[in-house]
Amino acid sequence: MTTRPVVTLSRFLVHQERMHPEATGAFTNILHDMALAAKLISREVSKAGLVDILGAAGRENVHGESVQKLDLFANDVIYRAMDHTGHLACMASEEDDEVVPIPDEFPAGEYVLLYDPLDGSSNIDVNVSIGTIFSVHRKVSEGKRGTLADCLQMGCRQVAAGYVLYGSSTMLVYTTGSGVHGFTLDPSIGEFLLSHPRMTIPEPPSKTYSINEAYYARWSRGQQRLVSYLKGKGEFGSRYIGSMVADVHRTLLQGGLFMYPADTRHPRGKLRLLYEAAPMAMIVTQAGGRATDGARDILEIEPVELHQRTPVYLGSSEFVELAGRYLVEDSEI
């Protein structure tokens, strides 16, 4: 009987680093630290349903300790896993208004980390999958400490992007620009194991569209006609979890079209360019798909502010291009 070797995330990262003799190891360490933060967040997420026993956020638990909201906890865990390592010049989080500096007592490094610590957080209370999204850039500004300019870089300049899905299993999926690789957390040994090497969006894709259809009345004519077309075909199925990480993960594994369009309430879309759209666009593009704002490639959008929003259309190339054709006809909302 032949058994497949078990490849841990650590072993995989060491192997990848060996293929780049110029690598300093800094980058590998950032991914290691991200994996550690993911395990800590995963542990807390799995306890979310025990909130009545362990204590609701904002109150004390049975041990008399104060309990943080899970998204703030996740924000803190990632920051603390990263702030002292000497690999990062600065960070930016969806939870913080400004660039998050590295404390003066720690050395600064050559990379910048942007992250959404707990995406889909409105799903926590109902026990639906949520996730963490991250994006890594190289520092471009002069000087030791990172600045806003280091964070406001186009998606095509990302050196890595990934997400962690806290679902029926916890998975870490990442790319450094040479394929997308997925690891599943084995909780019995506390290790991420390579379960999905070289992920690509299947061809032919699943005919699935994913959008919050309750907003139909707020969409542009082009958007309405696109969804009417997809429904009218009678060939498409619809799936919308309302947790971007989970919806994108399904799209990656099965193909389809995920959309969060502009609407009258969110004229620029709801999803954040730097923390959600750009990292997911890098992953989907690396997996053979496409990601646009309906017209422009997400990876080519020049960010002008930290919390900038963008419409998002991502998934199987043919469906993203189809969406673009409908939207170009009538972009008025």
Q: Closer to ligand FDP by CB, 124 or 180: give it.
A: 124
The gap between the terminal CA atoms of the chain, to the nearest Å, is 61
- Does 66 sit near ligand FDP (CB under 6 A)? no
- Does 176 sit near ligand FDP (CB under 6 A)? no
Question: Alpha helix (H) ranges present in the chain?
Answer: 9-18, 26-45, 51-54, 70-82, 148-151, 221-232, 244-254, 278-286, 317-329
x/- track of binding to ligand FDP for residues 179-218 (CB under 6 A): ---------------------------------x------
CB 113 within 8 A of CB 119: no
Give the count of residues interacting with ligand FDP (CB under 6 A).
12
Choosing from 153, 243, 286, 308, the residue that interacts with ligand FDP (CB under 6 A) is 243
Sequence-ordered list of residues with C-beta below 8 angstroms from that of 99, at least 6 positions apart, any chain: 90, 91, 92, 146, 147, 148, 151, 306
Backbone angles phi, psi at 23, to 5 degrees: -65, 140
Minimum CB separation from ligand FDP for residue 271, in Å? 5
- Does 244 sit near ligand FDP (CB under 6 A)? yes
CB 320 within 8 A of CB 314: yes
Minimum CB separation from ligand FDP for residue 240, in Å? 7
Minimum CB separation from ligand FDP for residue 272, in Å? 7
Q: 3-state DSSP call for residue 312?
A: strand
- Does 95 sit near ligand FDP (CB under 6 A)? no
x/- track of binding to ligand FDP for residues 109-138 (CB under 6 A): ----------xxxxx---------------
Choosing from 92, 271, 284, 327, the residue that interacts with ligand FDP (CB under 6 A) is 271
Sequence-ordered list of residues with C-beta below 8 angstroms from that of 185, at least 6 positions apart, any chain: 38, 39, 42, 169, 170, 171, 172, 191, 192, 193
Burial degree of 264 (CB within 10 A; 0-12, 13-18, 19+):
exposed
Residue with tokens 């707990």: 118
CA distance 244 to 127: 15
Q: Closer to ligand FDP by CB, 18 or 265: give it.
A: 265
Minimum CB separation from ligand FDP for residue 305, in Å? 16
Minimum CB separation from ligand FDP for residue 123, in Å? 6
Burial degree of 56 (CB within 10 A; 0-12, 13-18, 19+):
exposed
Minimum CB separation from ligand FDP for residue 215, in Å? 7
Minimum CB separation from ligand FDP for residue 268, in Å? 13
- Does 263 sit near ligand FDP (CB under 6 A)? no
Q: What is the DSSP string of 209-220?
A: EE--GGGGGGS-
Q: Closer to ligand FDP by CB, 201 or 244: give it.
A: 244
Q: Closer to ligand FDP by CB, 33 or 71: give it.
A: 71
Backbone angles phi, psi at 228, to 5 degrees: -60, -40
Minimum CB separation from ligand FDP for residue 13, in Å? 27
CB 43 within 8 A of CB 170: no
Choosing from 55, 179, 202, 242, the residue that interacts with ligand FDP (CB under 6 A) is 242
Contacting residues toward ligand FDP, per CB under 6 A: 119-123, 212, 242-244, 270-271, 276
